[in-house]
Structure 1
Amino acid sequence: MPLALTLTSLISTGLYAAQEELTVYTAFESDLLTRYKKAFEADHPDIRIKWVRDSTGVMTAKLLAEKSNSRADVVWGLAGSSMALLKQEGVLATYTPAGLNDIKSELVDPETGKAWFGNQAFFNVVCYNEAVAKANNLPKPESWQDLLNPVYKGQIAMPNPASSGTGYMQVSAWLQSMGEEEGWSYMSGLDNNIAHYTHSGSKPCVQAAMGEVAIGISQAIRGAQLKTKGAPLDLIMPEGGIGWDVESVGMVKGTAREKAARTLVNWSLTAKANEQYAEAYAVVGHKEVHKPVANYPDVESAMVSMDFGAMASGRKQVLKEWSERFDQKSEPRS
């Protein structure tokens, strides 16, 4: 073997051997994982990310189940409501990362002894297929109450809140903005028109774009992406306000790879990392990073006030009641 190739091989082998592997639990959409991993590892070639991905609800349950013997080092890309619960249950370590002052305060753990930090905010929207609506003579809804109209029976999909953070934040938004009694009454009325509940937050909008349903209560970012690709969608911000949450990062308490975990958390808050988020999200955590997303609606004007602590503490009871009432319409898990 030529000397140059030998040296290259030795250097490469030595670098790989020196890499520390971080197990990172996430609910980021699958198409983002390779890009985020590549960007971080380019800056920190001594650390390698091993992703473990599932939907928000499943990942939250997994972290709680592993509380006494955690297999994760970092949680990156999980809803703030889930992170608040994980903090309450002692899963996350309190930590003050470098660059915290550069992050919007409303996207950060509001408590003293902070444990989670927002990377980007995500929002719901009503994805309305104009072509399907025209073919079926369906009116354009303007408010949440409009969706109770029997004309939409079998034409609406939304995420199951037990398996999707997108679903849980909308259920929470209804309960917090309408009140418990009216919120549950509203969801019972809406269930009459629901075709099915999905286990993915983006899927209802995808199904609306494909014409499988006329309306998908879903992620605003997925709706914007699909509309940009030519789907006949109108993205509606219903009267009454929309649910939202924060995809966040935090370090798992007791990780044996604390130094590397801190490095990843710190990096995830940098402007460079936020520029990655801004490729797919219109609202990111860093105060100085802004990039418009094509066809993204004015979500910030329709935000309801969200209490993440209440979302965390009430999660178990809310999901239990929701499942007892409505789970029979959930799609089978793939």
Structure 2
Amino acid sequence: MTLSLNKTLLAAALALTATATQAATELTVYTALEADQLKAYAKAFESANPDVKIRWVRDSTGIITARLLAEKENPQADAILGVAATSLLVLKNQQMLEPYKPNGVETLSTQFVDKDEVPSWVGMNAWVASICYNRIEAEKHGLPMPTSWQDLTKPVYQGHLVMPNPNSSGTGYLDVSSWLQTFGEEGGWAFMDSLHQNIDRYTHSGSKPCKMAAAGETPIGISFAYRGAKLINKGAPIDLGFPSEGLGWDMEAAAIVKGTAKLAAARKLMDWAVTREANTLYNDNFAVVAMPGVAKPVPNYPADIADRMIDNDFEWAATNRARILKEWQQRYDGKSEAKN
């Protein structure tokens, strides 16, 4: 009798589990987050929202942005998590985002929230430009550690620099847009003309130049601080450089794609994205996060990194994005790697 009852209870439990699994809403989320972050974020969100399961679609920022724009009339994504705010501003201007005010959004720093009363996007964390400098390879070629962006235009670095292509990489675009803001339009393009003479190649990934430097495939990669810090933690013989003129940056952000049939689930993702738990996870990788008071120092980041970040005009960067990318491609695309 007891055995029969136990079997009945077990069968009922399995049936309930199967029903719950089948009932979970699959949320298609486009992202440009690094692959090693996705598992932790999905685990935390799904633990808090067991009725929703994330299906990630990941690529570099520029490629994800182009894909979203191409799908404007027939959206395939339900939500966006971890794509540059400059890209989301482009999508907002195309009326492609569903405004939503997440529960708890008022706890975020105002610079990380869309200015509209009902925001179309919310920021998560900032990622910051840096130079990845391989000490061993640099010594072989007699290359000093650059301390400024202008240093990189010196003849000694010819053929020894790798940076991301801004058409495919969000890191590449934050570099280009920040140089144009820092040096002015004329000065920015003149700087990039000189820099181009020293570039070995342009990659289609923001992290690849730093990975190449860590592997000894290039002495110097223009990349972003998070990837460099992670590689140093793994023992890579690289140092991070933070040029004196100021650091370009962008923020990773989240939004709901207008027209999604899974609006309730997408709103749950937005609610989670602004929580202290989520911001604590962001801080595992980034020194600057959206919620004040959460961030703790990140190994291999300078303590004053927030003070080194330029006063970035995101609206300008978004409004002028297409024009800037077209000009960059006409001038420099000849050194870009072939796309896979």
Q: TM-score range by the shorter chain?
A: over 0.9
Cα-to-partner distance string for 1:5-62 (whole Å, 9 max, x where unaligned): 3122201111012111111111111111111111111111111111111110010111
* Residue 304 (1) aligns with residue 276 (2): no
* Residue 16 (1) aligns with residue 41 (2): no
CA distance in 2, matches of 1:237, 1:288: 24
Maintained 8 Å contact 1:150/1:193: yes
1:61 to 63, 66, 72: 66
TM-score normalised by the chain length of structure 2: 0.95
Cα-to-partner distance string for 1:88-119 (whole Å, 9 max, x where unaligned): 01111122111111111112223454211111
Cα-to-partner distance string for 1:138-160 (whole Å, 9 max, x where unaligned): 12211111111111111101100
CA distance in 2, matches of 1:166, 1:185: 20
CA distance in 1, matches of 2:336, 2:293: 41
* Residue 231 (1) aligns with residue 240 (2): no
- Structure 1 position 4, deviation (Å): 3.7
CA distance in 2, matches of 1:113, 1:180: 33
TM-score normalised by the chain length of structure 1: 0.97
* Residue 173 (1) aligns with residue 178 (2): yes
Q: Which amino acid is the alignment partner of residue 45 of structure 1? A: P
Cα-to-partner distance string for 1:238-258 (whole Å, 9 max, x where unaligned): 121111000000111121111
Maintained 8 Å contact 1:28/1:78: yes
How many residues matched?
Answer: 334
- For residue 5 of structure 1, what is the aligned residue in structure 2? 10
* Residue 324 (1) aligns with residue 324 (2): no
- For residue 265 of structure 1, what is the aligned residue in structure 2? 270
- For residue 51 of structure 2, what is the aligned residue in structure 1? 46
CA distance in 2, matches of 1:132, 1:258: 51
Over the residues paired in the alignment, what is the CA RMSD in angstroms? 1.3
1:140 to 136, 140, 145: 145
- For residue 42 of structure 2, what is the aligned residue in structure 1? 37
Secondary structure at the aligned position of 1:127 is classed as strand
Bigger Rg over Cα? 2
Secondary structure at the aligned position of 1:201 is classed as coil
Maintained 8 Å contact 1:56/1:79: yes
- For residue 160 of structure 1, what is the aligned residue in structure 2? 165
Q: Would you identify which runs of 4 or more consecutive aligned residues in structure 1 move more than 2 Å?
A: 1-5, 110-113
Q: Which amino acid is the alignment partner of residue 304 of structure 1? A: I
Q: Which amino acid is the alignment partner of residue 84 of structure 2? A: A
CA distance in 2, matches of 1:186, 1:87: 31
2:245 to 230, 240, 255: 240
- For residue 99 of structure 1, what is the aligned residue in structure 2? 104
CA distance in 2, matches of 1:144, 1:201: 17
* Residue 284 (1) aligns with residue 289 (2): yes
Maintained 8 Å contact 1:157/1:194: yes
* Residue 78 (1) aligns with residue 78 (2): no
Task: Compare 71-80 and 5-14 and name the one that shifted more.
Answer: 5-14
CA distance in 1, matches of 2:155, 2:9: 73
CA distance in 2, matches of 1:90, 1:205: 35
- For residue 122 of structure 1, what is the aligned residue in structure 2? 127
Task: Compare 292-301 and 134-143 and name the one that shifted more.
Answer: 292-301
Maintained 8 Å contact 1:271/1:288: no
* Residue 184 (1) aligns with residue 184 (2): no
CA distance in 2, matches of 1:253, 1:114: 13
CA distance in 1, matches of 2:87, 2:161: 26
Secondary structure at the aligned position of 1:192 is classed as helix
CA distance in 2, matches of 1:304, 1:288: 21
How do 1:247-258 and structure 2 match up within 5 A? Answer: 247-258=252-263
- Structure 1 position 288, deviation (Å): 3.1
Maintained 8 Å contact 1:121/1:244: yes
Cα-to-partner distance string for 1:215-240 (whole Å, 9 max, x where unaligned): 11101011111112222222111121
Q: Which amino acid is the alignment partner of residue 317 of structure 1? A: R
CA distance in 1, matches of 2:115, 2:178: 19
Cα-to-partner distance string for 1:55-97 (whole Å, 9 max, x where unaligned): 1001011111111111111111100100111100111112211
Structure 2 gap segments, 5+ residues each: none
